[in-house]
Structure 1
């Protein structure tokens, strides 16, 4: 893929899908002088008109937006089931496209998107870009500097009661394509790959605490939602480096006090901040030391914000320098599918895709 950066300083963004995550992207684009939203599209035409008026953009149909010559890059914030369809439309129109996580509803769909992008010479990127922030990048800098010696293992834990207590329409979290792994896993797995490198095989186990969930807020409060996916998933990932990562992703707990991510090595351990954020405290405990040391930020984008991956997609000098790349998003999706597949069969699953660790992000104040 060789979609070059626009010659102008300003990146003009067209957004398709105007759901709950939109405001976080808009907040980032509003504070960055080189980003401007010029067009929006949504199945709800009234919603598109309202957002367009809010940001000073034009409300278009999807077909109009991807064909619009004023749009430099398409930001795909639709539901996961529509990610591949929208990405293909953008690629067919010659537009770079950056999709919310996961890259597509399946590994096969994601591969088709990347193949189309390569054929058309169009760049494809995918969330999360939280790994470009100072939290994860400072942790990576410590690993790369040998502060923990040779990395040997990691743990990653996300655990909550589920989203139905606060989300007025939580159905998709419990349908095929949902669940804690596909919902939150991209943040944790992208971080693990960023820190430890690609994954070559996985073993998984999964369960479901109850068959229905009750909506706790909004106009549908009291309605029940059928659960069609595992709501507690565990997995062991073998990285090409030999390091082993253990993950727990759950909608079946009251909460947890476990660290979000820890990375252990021959000379020390790292406590890594929440991968769903751009900042956070990185702590290091050297082997034999009685205390944890808080590391000052030494790398990454400050303050970060959802959307910096879109600008990285467009601004990277070469395809290989795109950090929140489609190749990375595909690899993470295949790992997640592999864990769920292993849980069904009881067999280890080999991961076919290969991806290099993204380039580190220098300390940057955006």
Structure 2
């Protein structure tokens, strides 16, 4: 108790920079080792982070001073790396998704339960002040009983800016599996678990043209649906409508809206940790911006690991494996429903994570918890 959680990172690609920046701010985390299939990338991290050693993947998993493995490998390797770490007695925290398929994610959870270790998974954006302030507004009854929600992500396609966008347009990619974890995790955090889904999907183009980088102008094939709509039925009776598109140009819709019997909330972009929450109550004349009232202030990637470190032994972390597994099953089931034309029941569940009290930035040494 009171000691920092010692973390080893596997995968030193571009996303690691965001984690490293926040690890330096979090006393609950001590980075001790990094590994990558390209040893030079791991060494580059170690050279710029005091006290960190560059290891092979097997060495890191076997290291006695690593309590938790942060898995930043490609999605196809998430389950394999997680299962190796769990077999070595390590807790794991992964970038989204927890695994490439719901079946693989279930294997990770079962192995972790048998080994008595913890599992966490991105996105931890749900722990920031944006989603959490909206969550507190719902808990405080500001909109009455929730009735429905909408979640919308519209972009004309990642090939416009990504130099190697091929995987976005192959099976396992697409707007739902790429961006959906942020939105579905937020909806479950706000409204609770999902019990069934209905989906529809389409695509308007069979090929895309890369817009940047050394492959600019190259045409790539589209082998999956690039516009997906889903209706999620929550256990509390609320209905969420999800629109995820790599086909449409632009939208003026809010990222997420929650509607209740006495009011409506505009929820900020779940890809970010903060943002304004707006409330319109029955009989009001205008929207009101709510004061920040919950969540980790000035948070970023890695706060989910610090939150996991503070979770009592045996309890489920707020961004735990069950939430990640449930979100993945919801997304897979929306796509299954789109193919079959029938609604699909959701077999898994996840408890609505506890509210994060308003907690000051770790950069502010004067106070950590602003209010309970």
1:16 to 2, 6, 10: 10
Q: Which is further off, 244-253 or 49-58?
A: 49-58
1:289, distance to aligned residue in structure 2 (A): 0.9
Q: How much does 1:208 deviate?
A: 1.2
- Matched residue, 2:60: 65
Alpha-carbon deviations, 1:156-199, whole Å to 9, x = none? 00011111121122122222211110111011001100111100
Deviations along 1:57-99, one digit per CA (max 9) or x if unpaired, are: 2111111111111212110011111100000011001000001
- 1:187 corresponding residue in structure 2: 182
Partner of 2:233: 238
Q: Answer yes or no: is 1:315 the counterpart of 2:310.
A: yes
Tell me the SS of whatever aligns to 2:160.
coil
Q: Unaligned 5+ residue runs, structure 2? A: 363-372
Q: 2:268 aligns with which of 250, 273, 297?
A: 273
Render the CA deviation track for 1:196-243: whole Å, top value 9, x for unaligned.
110000000011121222221112222222222211000000001000
The equivalent position to 1:250 in structure 2, one of 245, 253, 265, is: 245
- Correspondence 1:342 to 2:329: no
Q: CA deviation at 1:321?
A: 4.3
Change (3 A) 1:215 1:132: same
Query: Which of 215, 220, 223 is the equivalent residue of 2:218?
Result: 223
* Residue 288 of structure 1, aligned match among 279, 283, 288: 283
For these two proteins, the number of residue pairs brought into alignment is: 360
Cα distance in 2, alignment partners of residues 192 and 334 from structure 1: 14
Deviations 1:137-160 (A, max 9, x none): 000000001000000000000011
Q: TM-score scaled by structure 1?
A: 0.96
Partner residue in 2 for 1:174: 169
Which residue of 2 is the match for residue 4 of structure 1?
Answer: none
Matches within 5 A, 1:343-358: 343-358=338-353
Give the match for residue 106 of structure 2: 111
Deviation (angstroms), 1:32: 2.0
Which stretch has the larger CA shift, 258-267 or 17-26?
17-26
Contact 2:28/2:309 (CA < 8 Å) preserved in 1? no
Corresponding residue for 1:136? Answer: 131
Does residue 211 (structure 1) correspond to residue 206 (structure 2)? The answer is yes
* Structure 2 equivalent of residue 29 of structure 1: 23
Q: Corresponding residue for 1:48?
A: 42
Offset at residue 319 of structure 1 (A) = 3.1
Match 2:143 to one of 148, 155, 175: 148
What value does the CA root-mean-square deviation take over the aligned residues? 1.1
Q: Secondary structure at the match of 1:302?
A: coil
Alignment partner, residue 81 of structure 1: 76
Q: Deviations over 1:9-51 (max 9, x none)?
A: 3222111112222111111112223323221111222212112
SS in 1 for 2:48: helix
Change (3 A) 1:201 1:39: same
Q: Is the aligned partner of 1:95 residue 2:90? A: yes
| Corresponding residue SS for 1:55 | coil
Query: How has the CA–CA distance of structure 1 residues 224 and 342 changed in structure 2, closer, same or farther, with 3 Å as cutoff?
Result: same
2: CA distance between counterparts of 1:291 and 1:144?
22
Bigger mean CA offset, 229-238 vs 306-315: 306-315
Q: Report the 3-state secondary structure (helix = DSSP H, G, I; strand = E; otherwise coil) of the residue aligned with 1:320.
A: coil
The answer to whether the 8 A contact 1:321-1:359 is kept is no
Query: What is the CA-CA distance between 1:8 and the residue it aligns to?
Result: 4.8
Offset of residue 101 of structure 1? 0.6
Q: Answer whether contact 2:96 2:121 (CA < 8 A) is retained.
A: yes
TM-score, length of structure 2 as denominator length: 0.94
Query: Is 1:73–1:314's contact at 8 Å kept on the other side of the alignment?
Result: no
SS at match of 2:158: coil
